[in-house]
Structure 1
Amino acid sequence: MTASALDSAAATRTLPSLGAFAGRLRGRLEATEDSATAAYDRIMRRLGISIGIAGAIIGVGELPEVAEQGSYASVWWSVAAVALVFGWYPIIAVVAAVSGTKAIKFVCGCAAVSFLGALATIPLGFDMHTVDATNIWPYRLTALAVSAGVLAWSGRVTLVYLLAASASAAVATVYTVAEVTPQHIIENFLRSAGLAALFLWCGTAATGAAARVDRESAIASRRAAAQAAALARDRERARFAALIHDAVLSTLLEASRAGAESDVVRRQAERTLEQLDEYRGAERDPDLLDARSALLFLRSTVQEINPSIRFDTHTWHGFDDLRMPVHSASTIAAALSEAVRNSLRHASVAGREVRRAVTATVSAGSIRIVFSDDGAGFDLAAVSADRLGISMSILGRMRQLAGGSAFVESQPGEGTTVTLVWGGDGSR
C-alpha cells in the first residue's frame, strides 16, 4: 500500500473519531449547564474562551520584548515570569470550553494572582534602574490580568485587585527603568488603571446582564407555575362544587320530598356517598395538574406567543389519570415556548406563509408534545454546542427534567420538528 493510501486510510479512521469526540464534548457541555443559570454560564464560557485565546496570542506577541528585556534580568526570572503571566491563559480557554463556571472562576483567579506574583518577584530578577525602556513588559498585561479577575471575583474585589495590580506595575516600572520622573509614574499608573477599568466595566456589565436574564427567567417560570397551580385548584373547587350541587343537594331534596323510605332515594344516596368517598380518597395535590389543566396551560403558553398556531390534542384510554407536577408542566412550557420563538425568528421563507402546529398526545402517565413547521429548516450538525436556544433552552431543560426527553429534527428546506416527552414514572 502506498504512503498516500495509508494517509487516506488514517484520515478516514480519524474523522469519525473526531466526530465522536465532538459529540461527547457537546453532550457534556449541555449536561453541565443549569437552566437556572443558563445565560450566566454561557457568557462565562464565552468570555473565558475569549480571554484565554487573547492571553495566548498576546504572549506570543510579547516574546520579542521579553527576550530584549531579558538581557537585563536573570534567566530564571524571565522563564518564571512568562509562565506566571501567560501560562494560565491556554488553560483558561480549555477549561471554559469543557467545564463549568466554578472551574472557570478558579483558573481565572489563579491567572490574576500569578500576575501579581510575577510583579512581586521583579526585585529578585532585576537590578535597580537598569532597564533602558519606558516600562517593563509585564506592565502592559495589567488589563489582561484584570479581565481574568472579572471572571473570578465580584466587582468590588476585582476593583481592589485593579488598583493593587496597577500600583504594583507602576512601582515595578520605578524600580527597573533607568530614567523615571514623577510625571512618568503618574502617567503609567493612570494609563494602566484606566485601560483595566474599561475591561472591568465591560466584563462586569456582560456578566451582570446575564445574571439578570437568569433572574427574570426564574421569576417568569415561578409565575407560570403559580398560575398553573391556581388553575388546578380552581378546577378542583369547581369539581367539588358540582358534586355537592348535583349529588348531595339533589339527594337531600329527593329525600325531603319522598317523606318515606324509597329505593330510588336510597340508591341515589349510596351513589352520592361513593362519589364523596372517591373524591376524598383521590390524590388532590394542588401542585399536580390533571390532563385537562396541563393541556390548557400548554395551549395558553403557545397562544400567548402566537394565537394563529394550531394546537391539536389526542387522548388515549386512561388519560384522566395523568397527574403532572406544576414544575414539570412549566419546564415543558418553557421548552415549547423556545421552540415556537425559534421558529418565528428563523423559519420564515420568502414568498409563502410558514405553517406551524402543535400536537399534544396524552395517555395515563405521559404526555407528548410535537411542534412542527414547514419553514426554512436548518442543519443540526452546523449548530454550535454553546447555542443556548437548542442545546439548553430545549434539549437541556428536558434532559434535566425527571422523566423528560426532547428531540429536534430538521433539514434545510424541509422544516423543523421538535418533540417533547414526559413520563411521570421517569421513563424516557
Structure 2
Amino acid sequence: MVAALDVDRTAAAQVSEPRPPETAGDAERRITRQFAIFVGAGYLAYLLISIPSIGASFDFMRSWWAIGAPIAVFGSGLAIGAAGIVGSQRWIRWTTQIAAAAFLVAVLLTPIGWTGVHTSIASGLWYATFMGLVAVALGLQPGIRPLVYLLVVSTAVVVCNTPVKDAGVRVAPLPDLAFAFAYSMPYVCATVIGVRTARLLDQTRDATYRLAAETAAAQARTAERARFDALTHDGVMATLLGAARMGNTTDVRALAGRTLDDLDDLAAPSTPDATVSAATAARRLRAVVTDLDDTVRPDISLPAEPDTVDYPTTVVQTITAATGEAVRNSLRHAHAPTRDVRVDLRENTIEVSVVDDGRGFAPDDVAPHRLGIAVSIVGRMRQVDGGDADVSSTPGRGTRVAITWRR
C-alpha cells in the first residue's frame, strides 16, 4: 500500500520544493522585466533630453570625462532595458548593479574632471537631473539597498556638482540634498514594494500549491487504505470463510488467486520499469470509483487479451488517483443525481471520462484557492509522460472530466 503512493509523494515533493531565495518566481520575473524595460526607456529619454547639457559640459569638464561619463552612464542604463527585453533575470541583476556603479563613479570623478571653470546652468552637470532613475533601477534588487544607494548618490551629487556651478545659481547643500532625496524616494519605494509584492505573491502561490499537493497525497493515501480495507473484507475474509464452509473448491481457489493478485498489486514496488496489466488497471479504476460512489458502475472497455497488455505502474497509479479526485469533486460540488464513468483501455492508450449532470460551473470563475482541478487532476496527469486532463463545464449543464494517457 505504501509503495502504491510513490507517485503522489513524488508529485507533492515536486510542488513543495522550496524555491531558493535568489531564484525569482513567475510574478517577480514579469514585474522585474517590465520595470527593467521602463528604466531603459527612461535612460533613453534622459539621454535625448541631456544632449545639450552633455555638449555644454565640454566647456568646463575635461574631454575624457565629458566623453567617458555619458557613455558609461547611459550605456549601462540602456543595457538594463535590453536585458528586460531579453527577459534574463541574471542580466537584469548585473546591468542594474553596473549602472549604479557607473553613475556613482562618474559623479565621484567630477572633481578630477573639472577644469575649474564654473557653469551658469542651474542644474550644473547633466547627471543631477535623473539620479533618482538610477536608484529606481537598483530597486530591482531585493532589500533596502536602493534607499541606501539613493542617500549616498544624492549626497555625492550635491557635494560634487555644487562647486561646478556659478555662485548665482548655487543652492544651499543641505536643502538641495533633502529635496533630491525626498523627490526620488517615492519612485524608489514604489519599485521596491512592487518587486517585493511580486515575490510574496510567488511565495504565497507556491505555499498554496504545496498544501494542495500534500492534501492530494493524503487523500490518495486514504483511498489506498480504503482499498486495502475493502480487499481485506471482500477478498481475504471471504476466502477464509469460503474455505471454512466449502473446503478446497474451484471457486474458493479462484477467489484466493484473485485476492493474492490484488495484494501483490498493492505491495508491488513502484520502480520505473514496473508494469501492471490492463485487467489489473481495470480492477483498480473500478475499485476507486465504487469506493467513493457505490451507485456508479463504471463502463470499462478492455483489450481482447487484457492480461497481455501492460501499462507503467506509475501511469495507472496516477490515472487512478486523478479519477478518484474527479469523482470526489463531483460528489462534493456537482449535486448531480447521476454520474457516468467510462474507461477505455487499449494497447497504447488509456482514456477515462467522468461525466455528471449537475449544476456545473464556469472554469474561469473558479477561485484561486480551489486547486482540486489544477493540482489533483490536471497537474497530476501532466507530470506523467503522455498524460493529460481536460475539464469542461457549463453552469447548469454538468461537468465532464477527460483523463488521457498515450504511450
**Superposed pair shares fold, TM > 0.5:** yes
> Residue 293 and residue 36 in structure 1: after superposition, are their counterparts in 2 closer, same or farther (change >3 A)?
farther
Q: Distance in 2 between matches of 1:84 and 1:263?
A: 90
Show the 5 A alignment for 1:250-265: 250-258=238-246, 264-265=251-252
The answer to whether structure 1 residue 145 and structure 2 residue 143 are counterparts is no
Q: Distance in 1 between matches of 2:240 and 2:108?
A: 92
What's 1:109 paired with? 97
Counterpart code for 1:276: L
- Tell me the TM-score normalised to structure 1 length: 0.62
Cα offset for 1:316? 2.5
Q: How far does the alpha carbon of each residue in 1:335-382 deviate from its partner, in whole angstroms, 9 at most, with x for none?
A: xxxx942899xxxxxxxxxxxxx99xx9x97444346699xxxxxxxx
Q: How far does the alpha carbon of each residue in 1:188-216 deviate from its partner, in whole angstroms, 9 at most, with x for none?
A: 11111112211211101110111111111
What's 1:316 paired with? 344
Q: Distance in 1 between matches of 2:169 and 2:268?
A: 88
> Residue 128 and residue 225 in structure 1: after superposition, are their counterparts in 2 closer, same or farther (change >3 A)?
same
Root-mean-square deviation over aligned CA pairs: 4.2
Q: Distance in 2 between matches of 1:172 and 1:241?
A: 81
The answer to whether structure 1 residue 295 and structure 2 residue 282 are counterparts is no
Cα pair 2:32 2:195 within 8 Å, conserved: yes
Secondary structure class of the residue paired with 2:106: helix
> Residue 177 and residue 365 in structure 1: after superposition, are their counterparts in 2 closer, same or farther (change >3 A)?
closer
Counterpart code for 1:317: L
Q: Distance in 2 between matches of 1:303 and 1:278?
A: 27
Q: Distance in 1 between matches of 2:259 and 2:334?
A: 44
Secondary structure class of the residue paired with 1:131: coil
**Larger CA deviation: 246-255 vs 176-185:** 176-185
Cα pair 1:343 1:373 within 8 Å, conserved: no
Unaligned runs of 5+ in 2: 1-22, 272-312, 351-361, 368-376, 395-401
Cα offset for 1:304? 9.7
Return the structure number with greater relative CO, CA threshold 8 A, min gap 6.
2
Q: Distance in 2 between matches of 1:47 and 1:291?
A: 43
Q: How far does the alpha carbon of each residue in 1:157-183 deviate from its partner, in whole angstroms, 9 at most, with x for none?
A: 222211110110010123312328996
Cα offset for 1:264? 4.7
Q: Distance in 2 between matches of 1:372 and 1:200?
A: 45
Cα offset for 1:82? 1.0
Select the residue among 38, 56, 60 that pairs with 1:72: 60
Secondary structure class of the residue paired with 2:104: helix
Show the 5 A alignment for 1:380-391: none
Counterpart code for 1:280: A
Counterpart code for 2:131: T
Q: Distance in 2 between matches of 1:189 and 1:286?
A: 66
Cα pair 2:348 2:406 within 8 Å, conserved: no
Q: How far does the alpha carbon of each residue in 1:219-259 deviate from its partner, in whole angstroms, 9 at most, with x for none?
A: 1211221121112111111111111001111222233345x
The answer to whether structure 1 residue 277 and structure 2 residue 268 are counterparts is no
Secondary structure class of the residue paired with 1:316: strand
Larger Rg over CA atoms: 2
Show the 5 A alignment for 1:24-103: 37-103=25-91
> Residue 171 and residue 230 in structure 1: after superposition, are their counterparts in 2 closer, same or farther (change >3 A)?
same
**Larger CA deviation: 180-189 vs 101-110:** 180-189
What's 2:218 paired with? 230
Show the 5 A alignment for 1:350-369: 366-369=386-389
Q: Distance in 1 between matches of 2:42 and 2:198?
A: 22
Secondary structure class of the residue paired with 2:130: helix
Counterpart code for 2:223: R
Q: Distance in 1 between matches of 2:347 and 2:83?
A: 47
Q: Distance in 2 between matches of 1:75 and 1:97?
A: 33
What's 2:151 paired with? 163
> Residue 68 and residue 79 in structure 1: after superposition, are their counterparts in 2 closer, same or farther (change >3 A)?
same
| Residue identity (%) | 24
The answer to whether structure 1 residue 239 and structure 2 residue 262 are counterparts is no
Cα pair 2:60 2:117 within 8 Å, conserved: no
Cα pair 1:59 1:86 within 8 Å, conserved: yes
> Residue 186 and residue 305 in structure 1: after superposition, are their counterparts in 2 closer, same or farther (change >3 A)?
farther
Q: Distance in 2 between matches of 1:173 and 1:73?
A: 12
Counterpart code for 1:73: M
- The size of the alignment, in residue pairs, is 312
Q: Distance in 1 between matches of 2:165 and 2:321?
A: 75
Q: Distance in 1 between matches of 2:116 and 2:30?
A: 46
Q: Distance in 1 between matches of 2:235 and 2:248?
A: 18
